[in-house]
Structure 1
Amino acid sequence: MFEGLNMGDMGKMLEEIQKKAKELEEKNESIELTAKSGGGLVKVTANGKGEIIDIEIDDSLLEDKEALQILLISAINDVMKMVEDNKKSAALQMLGGGMNPFAGGQGQ
């Protein structure tokens, strides 16, 4: 099962994966994702790590607490989904870029 497996190469590969993961985390801090709800009446912005960094609320919603709550929840849920999708995409790119140690023997 482990024929031809060089532990030195595995160690180098793990170091490279750790390095790429750290780069990805640093990159995610600078990414900004924005979701809107209510036709743009509410905007929520998060960074790639999933931290909410800005919320914009149109003044017209300040009189309608229930509508504000619904639109805010919607925008937050949307931006969190965007963050998750971004993380999955970045992880797939990292693995697809030759970093997948299990891809070598596929289809041969």
Structure 2
Amino acid sequence: MKSMEEMIKAAQEAAQNIQQQMEQAQAMLDVIQVEGVSGGGLVKVRATAKGRILNVAIDDSLIVPADKGMLEDLITAALNDAREKADAASNAEMSKMSSGMALPPGFKLPF
């Protein structure tokens, strides 16, 4: 049987390894890009899987003062679409990382 000191050292090393993997996964989420689209492609929003908005593209045909309300609704819809896709990409990356860990039943990571 291992000594208590060896078990504690192994647990600390495992915790450090998990923390490094989490940091790498978080960094990767800021590199993964998704695109939200609304209005049949008239409004597009690019974002990272962390939710950082990178770009909003609006088709020139939408820039009419009388259509301001519609444009705002389309932008909102595109942002929401991008956020949903970012959440899905984030969950997929975190699942990849946590699938190799032997976590106790019911234990969930904070992401």
Compute the TM-score of the two structures, normalised by the length of structure 2.
Answer: 0.80
Partner of 1:102: 104
Alignment of 1:1-108 (within 5 A): 6-63=7-64, 64-97=67-100, 99-102=101-104
**Which whole-Å CA distance do the structure 1 matches of 2:94 and 2:53 have between them?**
21
**Which whole-Å CA distance do the structure 2 matches of 1:82 and 1:7 have between them?**
40
Of 78-87 and 50-59, the range deviating more from structure 2? 78-87
Letter aligned with residue 58 of structure 2: I
**Following TM superposition, by how much is the alpha carbon of 1:19 offset from its aligned partner in structure 2, in angstroms?**
0.7
**Which whole-Å CA distance do the structure 2 matches of 1:35 and 1:47 have between them?**
11
SS of aligned partner of 1:15 = helix
Q: Percent identity?
A: 31
Compute the TM-score of the two structures, normalised by the length of structure 1.
Answer: 0.82
Where structure 2 has 5 or more consecutive residues not aligned to the other structure, the ranges are 1-6, 106-111
SS of aligned partner of 1:102 = coil
